[in-house]
Structure 1
């Protein structure tokens, strides 16, 4: 028996969770198919998931398909929860992308397929809802070929389309040979010589599917069960088994973290190599710097999870005992760096506690939510006693609000959503503070130079001083403080795409008096370097100057041609810039860029402008400089090194001058 870790992905409402229920029923794991509308599905366990009929958190369920054990991961379809999908992709062996036969290829479908293809994850496409009025087969196939991938192989035909009697006749479409020969010259030669057997075609199809070169397309209905058996056969035959040496070094990845009934952390991990056992001590974290002991293991079996003493390579397990674990952590030997496949959130809002809500309890609850979703960034403003959270969209507000109420008993509201900008240096600036000179109250010499760096390069720290000029801990204190200080630039936004070079260093060696111990007042400590670095860095930034950039989404709008006249003025008012315009029959296609903060408004206004026929696809694309004369600042949450006097009063009692 072999393992397959399978992801089910789709645009919201395409029927992804219903398909999961149907697969569980087909495998004999459940006696009755759960309903999304009734809130009785196996994988949507959160109250809000049942209430809204959408998946918010990824869920794992296991079932057997003959000699294949499938660990199926149901993922969210709403764009606001794309981070939840992101974490699953790195642990999959294969995927099923669900497309609605009625709505066709939708915006999120395109985002997901682009990522699946980039990561070369073997993917089957399931066209669901063939029993619904308005369902299409050939039209959806054309849309898939045009908007997702041309390398599609239809795996059957549909009769009684759009009715409850819709059925699927399995079979390899004649067009399959054209797609398969594009990637196989030997097959092409055999085809020309009329020597291609059906068995050889199936073998080539399986091989190319496992290499993510082609994507078989199945039709069916998760509700009626039509076409599900051929899909199950395709999952068994065409997708690759999980690989991994159970006798090798332990190596895995954490893709989900939740809290148990007693508040304990539970890590969901895919094991790529080795075998984990209860009571094993393991290293984990980005750099393997954390260590913990496995106190319990849970594995997934036939629709439930059971306790186990061991978990071998290839499997997904729940792990207890790793108190400091975070999503994305490597377990044991690092397999590879955890990459983010999707852009970080570009919106934020202030959480406003309701009457009687204790701010400490709110802080603790939000911290726990951030543990479960590392892209929910928390920002604490101690001066104003406020907490901000970063977001992908407005639906996340509702989810956070409901989670705080249901799980923690905390009533909150939110302020208006704002955009998260970044700052970049526009020139070069340098500054230095010398030990025991001028008004420097810190026993440390630090000189820093800030230079612009290419877009997307992040932050690099360099040394122009000898590493042996002072203890390494002092250099580390400077670098760590530089990175922390760059979280709030001259206008309060995170500073990125720059190189910070340390140009001066100096310290006061350890001093002591006769018959006495260490004299801290005369000797440099790490605190001196952490204290002076923000003053030096902000002054260097001030001399370099910074430019504020706002996040921009690329957008693609399909709408009736006759609505273009109403659409263009609204796009201009939202500061959206169409860059290409085309027509396809009676439909116009607009592509361009729009500020991230205006996407929600565009979503709301589009139906009214296009008689409900407009379709919007958007995703983060780049940061663009804010127009000159426009000042967009963010309130500071640090000790404000922009104001030297205020900073020194806040940071140290050893204020000189």
Structure 2
């Protein structure tokens, strides 16, 4: 059985879900087309999706196309839900990127195409909404070749030949020598190979609403994208890309099976352990149906496994991971009813299972829980989900920007066992210095003390680095353990374990934050704010007001080009200021300015250094820390 796991991706409102409906209708899966506006589509099943007319959660539906079973994954288009798209990309064989014939290439379109090309995922492009007023397919095609990919090609024989000749010297030589040998089927085979390599990107035009161009797109999906005959006899290999909860609270894992097979009651390798599959559903003919087993190539829903998104079943597949920007906003979620504080934290913890990029920080002292976000729309989704699924009504504080800390230099500290100032039965010495990513290294012998003690130090280091000197996560930091020491297990005369004389993992876990913070204090840290790259188009005669607006927002234009009365600026802008510029841009440009932004990295904060309240036991203040950990100084 050949399968094709196909993603439908787009900027919000380009018509992605409408295209999904049309493909399902043409395949005979649904009798009549659903409407995004009416909230009656097959894949948008959440109440909030139907109410707002946007996709929030990735949805899977299956249909037959010739001798290929297509597992179609409809993904969100709104940038607030980019995490859903990120997880879907890792399980795709091919993708259709949808553009509007009216709006053309938009901000999210560029982000998605860059990622698809980097991952080597074969892509077809569908220019939708040809039936709308203002549709301009020629302009949009020029935008595609200029902003997305220079190897886009419309499906006209002469243009396909020109592209193949540009991409392949052997093809050019052969075609010039014997053009009659290149039959339509051979040209299709040549193009299919280039599409599979990610070097050619066919473009189709049509309308999901009227059905125009859909037959040609279906032909491209069936014949140009690489359907695969998976190896069902190989060892099991699968990836969890989505987790949801059944009405009874049981986890349901969406798994792309790359090889092997799995059956109900099978015990499957899962990380360092294993899990038992209690139920299986596979996607078939438009819906998920119960099955006794699932084979490679399929997307299956597995019950009974304690998993998180990104977990691997069996052998790790050879796939490349998408890397979208991290969330850069944070807000405090508060229940309207004080009695809901405990249930709220539990509910938010469950939501992080479905979206790991929603980070949680819980402050025991203030009894506050903060969540990280991509944008304001996510607030509405979280608020509606908590009310509908958990019966908890919440409010949000004002959204703030998430900064990070980076180490300035090298710092070290050590606490020795048995000294008056150290109440823990442990010796820990640490050195911190700038690094690429965050790492933990050993300068002590691995056998110098029990591994569980070393592991306790490593775990405590990772936990402590979540809140640095100023309360922000410390990034790009290399931590080296330089000293170690412990008291071996001691017993009383009658053989019972004596904690007061014996080191435990808890001693190392509790001492490490004090040592690490002292080393960080010596090394020094600098707070960095998130930075976005922007591209801004505006009438040339408004360049003055626009430049002044960018200056007030602490943006730094790098290039400015003016052509045919339009100025285009590119540069960097603090993430905290993008919303403000978006709001003020229309008044500065007579409503004609447009700005696209994407995450670009971090830069040192200029001016007052922002800090964030701590949620740990505050190892920066030794007395306070010991009071909280030991209830004594």
TM-score by length of 2: 0.98
| Inter-partner Cα distance in structure 2 for 1:356 and 1:637 | 20
User: Secondary structure of the residue that 1:130 maps to in structure 2?
Assistant: coil
| Inter-partner Cα distance in structure 2 for 1:340 and 1:186 | 33
| Inter-partner Cα distance in structure 2 for 1:202 and 1:607 | 47
Q: Deviations over 1:467-512 (max 9, x none)?
A: 1211111111111111111111110111111211111111111111
Aligned twin of 2:252: 266
Aligned twin of 1:534: 513
- 1:570 and 2:570 equivalent? no
Shift of the alpha carbon at 1:338? 7.1
The correspondence for 1:278, drawn from 255, 264, 273, is: 264
Q: Are the counterparts in 2 of residues 328 and 338 from structure 1 also a CA contact under 8 Å?
A: no
User: Secondary structure of the residue that 1:608 maps to in structure 2?
Assistant: helix
Aligned twin of 2:628: 650
Aligned twin of 2:52: 52
Q: Are the counterparts in 1 of residues 2 and 229 from structure 2 also a CA contact under 8 Å?
A: no
Shift of the alpha carbon at 1:173? 4.5
User: Secondary structure of the residue that 2:158 maps to in structure 1?
Assistant: coil
Q: Deviations over 1:498-544 (max 9, x none)?
A: 21111111111111122231111001111111111111110111111
Q: 1:356 to 1:523 in 2, by over 3 A?
A: closer
The correspondence for 2:358, drawn from 350, 366, 376, is: 376
Q: Are the counterparts in 2 of residues 582 and 588 from structure 1 also a CA contact under 8 Å?
A: yes
The correspondence for 1:242, drawn from 228, 239, 252, is: 228
Matches within 5 A, 1:273-352: 273-284=259-270, 288-322=271-305, 324-336=306-318, 339-352=321-334
Q: Deviations over 1:5-45 (max 9, x none)?
A: 10000000000000000000000010000000000000001
- Count residues with an aligned counterpart: 631
- 1:474 and 2:453 equivalent? yes
Q: Deviations over 1:385-421 (max 9, x none)?
A: 0000000111111111111112222111111111111
| Inter-partner Cα distance in structure 1 for 2:32 and 2:266 | 39
Worse-superposed segment, 568-577 or 310-319 = 568-577
Shift of the alpha carbon at 1:348? 0.6
Q: 1:382 to 1:356 in 2, by over 3 A?
A: closer
Matches within 5 A, 1:29-68: 29-68=29-68
Shift of the alpha carbon at 1:194? 5.0
The correspondence for 2:612, drawn from 634, 650, 656, is: 634
Aligned twin of 1:394: 376
Shift of the alpha carbon at 1:183? 2.2
Shift of the alpha carbon at 1:200? 2.0
- 1:446 and 2:424 equivalent? no
Aligned twin of 1:615: 594
Shift of the alpha carbon at 1:608? 2.9
| Inter-partner Cα distance in structure 2 for 1:225 and 1:290 | 49
Runs of 5+ unmatched residues, structure 2: none
- 1:503 and 2:485 equivalent? no
User: Secondary structure of the residue that 2:480 maps to in structure 1?
Assistant: strand
| Inter-partner Cα distance in structure 2 for 1:68 and 1:146 | 34
Q: Deviations over 1:540-592 (max 9, x none)?
A: 11111111111101111122212212211111111111111112322211111
| Inter-partner Cα distance in structure 2 for 1:53 and 1:603 | 23
Aligned twin of 1:460: 439
| Inter-partner Cα distance in structure 2 for 1:202 and 1:368 | 48
Runs of 5+ unmatched residues, structure 1: 156-171
Q: Deviations over 1:159-183 (max 9, x none)?
A: xxxxxxxxxxxxx242222211122
Q: Are the counterparts in 1 of residues 2 and 230 from structure 2 also a CA contact under 8 Å?
A: no
Q: 1:337 to 1:218 in 2, by over 3 A?
A: closer
| Inter-partner Cα distance in structure 2 for 1:198 and 1:610 | 50
| Inter-partner Cα distance in structure 2 for 1:357 and 1:122 | 51
Q: Are the counterparts in 2 of residues 606 and 614 from structure 1 also a CA contact under 8 Å?
A: yes
Shift of the alpha carbon at 1:190? 2.3
Aligned twin of 1:427: 409
Aligned twin of 2:107: 107
User: Secondary structure of the residue that 1:358 maps to in structure 2?
Assistant: helix
- 1:181 and 2:181 equivalent? no
| Inter-partner Cα distance in structure 1 for 2:214 and 2:510 | 64
Q: Deviations over 1:61-89 (max 9, x none)?
A: 01111211111000000111111000000
Shift of the alpha carbon at 1:290? 3.8
Worse-superposed segment, 129-138 or 87-96 = 129-138
Aligned twin of 1:166: none
| Inter-partner Cα distance in structure 1 for 2:320 and 2:221 | 27
Aligned twin of 2:216: 230
